[in-house]
């Protein structure tokens, strides 16, 4: 998502303009080059109808979340959304992007977290500052439903312009983002899930400190493909209940403890039921904005519209995902075309 802005005292990221003409400058903006090699650890309980994923964003969480000047309550919810999006995206076989979007009439008007098939994460949040301040004056730790208000939760798989998008939408139900996701799975997909989400700002001892985010997701799979054929429906249901009961003992501190390896944590939770991990998936900082893409957008505006966008001789467009300002001198931008930087 992009917006034109007037320069102000707000935090933003700006770099010197490239000598390359804007419509040819498709390079990535200067965002943190961070990869977490073991961001997602898939696992399953052998011969039982249970598979899952343990997600830890590690240092990626702080790099993504601290780039935006959101209130801590919004940042915490955004971190949970990023962990959830990463866990769901890496369970799918697709090419493109998977997004989670919550939109309501509360102080937090919109929250979107996006993960590509290669594990590139990004997010943005839009809040009404006055309404959020009023809510926080009443409740310092409001639940997700109070932040979002009445609205909808959508999950979208976008595989590009040549393929139809797959999207599921449900009304927001539940106090937490985890409960909202479970409501989606029950009503839209008729699937059985367990979801535990966590995001906190942790102290710097003994680790590096900053924001940490993670998730534990379990899914009940159909009675085939690795499930013991001797397990009837009742036995499979018992196995699912046992797995979710064990998963419910997980604490936020354990989930966010980077000193506790994923395999050790999963063994701690599920050793009585047996647990096997699969090949880990990497997560990284990802944003797909560029000056070339914005140049294409500016080509569609009339000279009068461009004049209204201009502040102190420049048109500034901000990518809401990476909070990066792209500056286009008005003198080199003409109606329905961008000549390039001078």
Closest residue by Cα to residue 294 from 253, 248, 340: 340
pTM above 0.75, yes or no: yes
My answer on whether omega of the bond before 280 falls inside 30° of 0, hence cis, is: no
Closest residue by Cα to residue 147 from 95, 84, 80: 80
Show Cβ contacts of residue 324 under 8 Å, excluding neighbours closer than 6 positions: 12, 13, 14, 15, 29, 30, 31, 287, 289, 318
Per-residue pLDDT of the chain (342 residues; tens, 9 = 90+): 555 544 444 456 665 556 665 555 555 666 788 999 999 999 999 989 999 999 999 999 999 999 999 999 999 999 999 999 999 999 988 888 999 999 999 999 999 999 999 999 999 999 999 999 999 999 999 999 999 999 999 999 988 777 778 899 999 999 999 999 999 999 987 889 999 999 999 876 655 679 999 999 999 987 555 677 777 888 889 999 999 999 999 999 999 999 999 999 999 999 998 899 999 999 999 887 777 777 777 777 888 888 888 888 888 887 888 888 888 888 777 655 445 443
Structural domains in the chain, CATH included, are 2-28+289-338 (no CATH), 35-285 (3.55.30.10)
Q: Where are the beta strands (DSSP E) in the chain?
A: 2-4, 13-14, 35-45, 50-56, 97-104, 108-116, 120-127, 151-158, 166-171, 193-202, 210-220, 276-277, 281-285, 314-319, 324-329, 333-334, 337-338
Closest residue by Cα to residue 168 from 150, 178, 159, 181: 181
SS3 content of the chain, % helix, strand, coil (to 5): 30, 30, 40
């Amino acid at each position: 998502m992009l917006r034109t802005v007037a320069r102000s005292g707000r935090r933003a990221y700006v770099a010197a303009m490239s000598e390359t003409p804007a419509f040819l400058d498709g390079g990535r903006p200067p965002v943190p080059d961070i990869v977490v090699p073991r961001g997602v650890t898939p696992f399953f309980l052998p011969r039982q109808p249970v598979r899952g994923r343990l997600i830890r964003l590690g240092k990626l969480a702080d790099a993504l979340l601290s780039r935006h000047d959101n209130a801590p309550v919004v940042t915490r919810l955004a971190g949970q959304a990023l962990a959830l999006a990463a866990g769901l995206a890496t369970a799918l076989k697709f090419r493109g992007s998977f997004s989670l979007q919550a939109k309501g009439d509360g102080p937090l008007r919109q929250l979107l977290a996006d993960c590509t098939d290669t594990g590139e994460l990004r997010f943005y949040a839009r809040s009404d500052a006055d309404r959020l301040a009023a809510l926080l004056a009443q409740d310092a730790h409001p639940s997700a439903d109070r932040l979002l208000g009445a609205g909808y939760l959508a999950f979208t798989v976008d595989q590009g312009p040549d393929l139809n998008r797959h999207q599921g939408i449900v009304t927001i139900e539940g106090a937490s983002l985890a409960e909202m996701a479970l409501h989606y799975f029950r009503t839209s997909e008729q699937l059985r899930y367990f979801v535990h989400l966590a995001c906190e700002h942790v102290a710097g001892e003994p680790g590096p400190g900053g924001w940490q985010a993670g998730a534990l997701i379990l899914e009940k799979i159909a009675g085939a493909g690795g499930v013991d054929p001797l397990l009837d429906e009742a036995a499979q249901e018992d196995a699912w209940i046992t797995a979710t009961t064990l998963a419910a003992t997980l604490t936020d501190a354990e989930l966010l403890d980077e000193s506790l390896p994923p395999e050790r944590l999963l063994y701690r939770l599920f050793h009585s039921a047996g647990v096997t991990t699969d090949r880990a998936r990497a997560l990284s900082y990802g944003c797909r904005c560029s000056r070339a893409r914005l140049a294409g957008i500016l080509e569609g505006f009339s000279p009068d519209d461009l004049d209204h966008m201009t502040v102190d001789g420049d048109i500034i467009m901000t990518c809401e995902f990476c909070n990066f300002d792209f500056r286009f001198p008005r003198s080199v931008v003409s109606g329905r075309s961008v000549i390039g930087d001078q």
